[in-house]
Amino acid sequence: MRRTALLVSATLLTGLLPLAAAGTAAGADDPVPVPVDRFEGEVPFASPPAEGIFTWGGDTDDPPRLALTERADAPEGARVLTGTHDISGYGGFTHDFAFAEPAHDWSASKGIRFWWEGRDNGRKVSFELKDGGANGEASELWTTSFTDDFTGWKRIEIPFTDFVYRTDYQPVGGIDQILGLTETWGYALTLPAGISDRFAMDGVELYGRADQSLRASVTTGSAVYPVKEGGTATVGVTVGTTGSAPLADPVTVTYETTTGGTATDGADYTPVHGELTFPAGTASGTSRTIQVPTRKDRPAESAETIPLKLTVTGARAPAETPQIVIDAHGLPYLNGRLPVKQRVADLLSRMSLAEKAGQMTQAERGAVAATPGDIASYDLGSLLSGGGSTPVPNTPAAWAKMIDGFQLRAQATRFQIPLIYGVDAVHGHNNLVGATILPHNIGIGAAREPRLAYKAGEVTAAEVRATGIPWDFAPCLCVARDERWGRTYESFGEDPALVEQMETVIQGLQGRANGTDLKDNDRVLATAKHFVGDGGTTYGSSTTGSYTIDQGVTEVTRQELEAVHLAPYQDAVDRGVGSVMPSYSSLDIAGDGQGPVKMHARADMINGVLKDRMGFDGFVVSDWQAIDQIPGDYASDVRTSVNAGLDMIMVPYAYQDFRTALVAEANAGRINAKRIDDAVSRILTQKFKLGLFERPYADTSGAADIGSAEHRAVARELAAKSQVLLKNADSVLPLRKSQKVYVAGSNADDIGSQTGGWTVTWQGSSGDITEGTTVLEGMRKAGGDVTYSKDASAPTDGFDVGVVVVGETPYAEGMGDVGNGNDLELTDADKAAVDTVCAAMKCAVLVVAGRPQLIGDRLGGIDALVASWLPGTEGDGVADVLYGRRAFTGQLPLTWPKSEAQLPINVGDTAYDPQFPYGWGLTTRTRIPEGGEKTLKALSVAATVAERAHDEKAGRTLVTHARLIVQARIGQGLTAAAAKPFADADHLLLTGRYGAAAEKLRAAYRAA
């Protein structure tokens, strides 16, 4: 080990002893403390892999500022570690030991302690150990915390037995979930967020002598044991040791039922007491059982709890007192044969205000991971996983086990109302490694096939439900009107008519509109979001951090609001969508006298339009911490949002504060009982429809289909049909397998960039982050003769054609806003690759991105240009169209601009001069329709007849025939005069006005 990690003096140690030896140097009764950090300069400020102290945070403002400061009141030595912080997200600092040296052995000590200068701010400071693994940044994290509720210097002592496995994040997915302490790589502190403050720390050291309770623990199979009335609960008690070594000393467990629960001793159960003994030498993993008999006393009653007190000697006791729960029985709401409406009414009539408030509360899984008993204590109605919030390991089985564990906690409530667990599965079960990742919505919009949108919903629902999740925060029905928006790819397109066409995804997710399929093990509750106008925010109007357009203000006339942004929601309601999520953005309707108002506060839109006028009978759930953006104090935020029509509030880490505030506002009469009952009725209705009362736990019978060949075939077809061929001079595409192909570009061989944001993590990331096939791999699998050079530095001689795959790196939400560190230009590296390859040979450029990229003057030197969008994990689909296995058939769901100065630019604009118009998309079909003005006139007449006959298939076929003729006529000589009627024609086609669409195409033909 590096001795510079220690401040060693003659008065403290008699030599440079190994840490384990130093811990026992003073004798058995009073071991000498083992110094870790004295902050006298022995440990530098440095980043891994070097040994040292370094800071980190959620964004550039969050890392604290550190210094070694001389202080006359230093508890040890002359200097202390000081720092200042003003953290909005998360931030802290770490001391990592050198990667080049062995890890430290702390197993001989009782715990770790240090001096902390209290600020008496009442905030918790998290302290984390890095245990096992390859190094400090690839270790297992164990955490605890202390509260800064004092002033001046205080020594904080933390026994190693206080540390718990961190469940919200593990850098390498976890290792063995055992705090071994034989390979320790350092520690970290997470400082409190939301306040501007300073701190001082000194004298980190190991203290005391380890005893068996550090290495041995007693656990129960569960914290909650439901049992039918009259049955016997069996509680398993298991002893385990670090490294699975046999017990060195005996362990005893004394048990007794206590009267602290809601069940009555003698009437509801037979009291039990006794002792279990695990002798020295007992193998790790040995179990004993305790049986608690219950009695039948009443034919109908709510659930009752029986605490089982365990007193452990010789090992660490279970973190919680196990509870036996006598199941609720005989009550009408439990009768699955009764109508849902009757079941809801019965249950609602029995609930207290606090229980109703709990149903309206949604917490993040990470918030209750350390205190899962809060699920019952606060009667929580819902949990969610934020983007990238996953179990460890991130497998289908781990997801199901985690959610079942949470559901089990809900069984300890009076009425055993199951949780509804939600997740952002916005293009497949995207938080799960190995899931089928479909193209983002913008690609589905490009494919223009409602059948495939439906199939995408089906695949997503099946994979999500197979991991125990019944609720999906999708689809996004935003109408993206400005490509500078970081959420553009979450939209099906810029035309509300296109968005409506793709809403078949709702049926794919939920099944039939009446909700009768929701109980099936391959369906999930869908969420229409973000109501309303999130895609129309004005550039520069956002007030959220460094965002420029996301969460900004949508400035519209009432007519524009109805025609563009509201239109898709009526269709969603008609399709029976079960939940709706309002937008973070504000709505400013010209002439209504309100100015910009946050959507979460707009009762006129949520209660008035969505629920009353449109007839939405599902429930409205807020976005992540969104009520915090409503002006006013927290009580006002709660009151305003609930009275505006929100039924469930997503308060990831503030669930305690929210429920308390909601109850207080209701008791004060500022939220009336009728509004509360309406909200809870809506939530309970969907829980009953989902069958959660009968089957709250995961049905994993479909888990084998996650990432299956069948599901990936759907994603592959969607990826192929989402490819939009914008230019194809001299028929460069499709490629022939006999051609020698030179492949280059940053996104040719990158599954992370290809799948985009909301993949495994919230923001997504480039690199090999999940299972799938890159574009390059797909081309090779297709049998192509391919040579790859990412930066086009390899020789370019001797090739028939080049394929350059360029575009964006992943982002999500406002982090992707143009002006927030992003633009619509290709990177310098991508530009160089395009220039190099296209100068040397015929070339096709594929743009893998969530929105159009500005090609500019390079278009003339590019032979073929493809908008690939974000095709997901199935790069084979892209290869299918490149090599002609499928024809290019995709069409632009967004107008492709010539310059950023044109933005926003959309179909229907008076001034419309794009690079490529909305609806543009060349084809590589072997037979392309021919004809001229006369043919187009005939097609127009036939299309009008089809329209009058309501023959959708014929109408679409005729207009598509006309479009292909017009595109061939325009070629690369597109003018504004031709672009506008061409784009208008596509909008008319989607609204079923086939004759008018054909006439617009005739106008485009004449203007070409």
List the catalytic residues: 623, 813
The token pair at 391 is 């179990």
Helix (H) or strand (E) holding 875: helix 875-882
Contacts of 237 (CB under 8 A, 6+ apart): 218, 219, 220, 253, 255, 276, 287, 288, 289, 290, 310
**Where do the DSSP E strands lie in 689-800?**
724-728, 740-744, 785-788
The token pair at 738 is 């006999």
3-state secondary structure 715-732: HHHHHHHHCEEEEEHHHC
Residue 525's φ and ψ, nearest 5 degrees, are -70, 130
Query: In what side-by-side order are the strands of the sheet with 382-385?
Result: 471-472, 420-423, 382-385, 361-364, 649-650
- How far apart CA 958 and CA 938 sit, in angstroms, is 10
- How far apart CA 542 and CA 560 sit, in angstroms, is 20
Residue type at position 116 = W
* Cβ proximity of 806 and 800 under 8 Å: no
Which of these, 494, 440, 512, 400, lies nearest to 753 by C-alpha position?
440
DSSP-derived 3-state class of residue 426: coil
What pairs with residue 681 in β-bridges? none
- How far apart CA 645 and CA 616 sit, in angstroms, is 11
3-state secondary structure 813-843: HHHHCECCCECCECCHHHHHHHHHHHHHCEE
- How far apart CA 470 and CA 518 sit, in angstroms, is 9
846-852-853-856 Cα dihedral, nearest 10 degrees: 100
Query: In what side-by-side order are the strands of the sheet with 287-293?
Result: 216-220, 232-241, 287-293
DSSP letter string, 138-155 = SSEEEEEEEEE-SEEEEE
Residue type at position 943 = A
DSSP state at residue 390:
-
- How far apart CA 741 and CA 637 sit, in angstroms, is 59
Query: In what side-by-side order are the strands of the sheet with 273-278?
Result: 224-227, 323-326, 304-313, 251-257, 273-278
DSSP state at residue 609:
I
The token pair at 890 is 């995709």
Which of these, 755, 749, 790, lies nearest to 770 by C-alpha position?
755
- How far apart CA 565 and CA 582 sit, in angstroms, is 13
Do strands 91-96 and 52-57 pair parallel, antiparallel, or not at all (unpaired)? antiparallel
Which of these, 82, 61, 63, lies nearest to 73 by C-alpha position?
82
* Cβ proximity of 847 and 582 under 8 Å: no
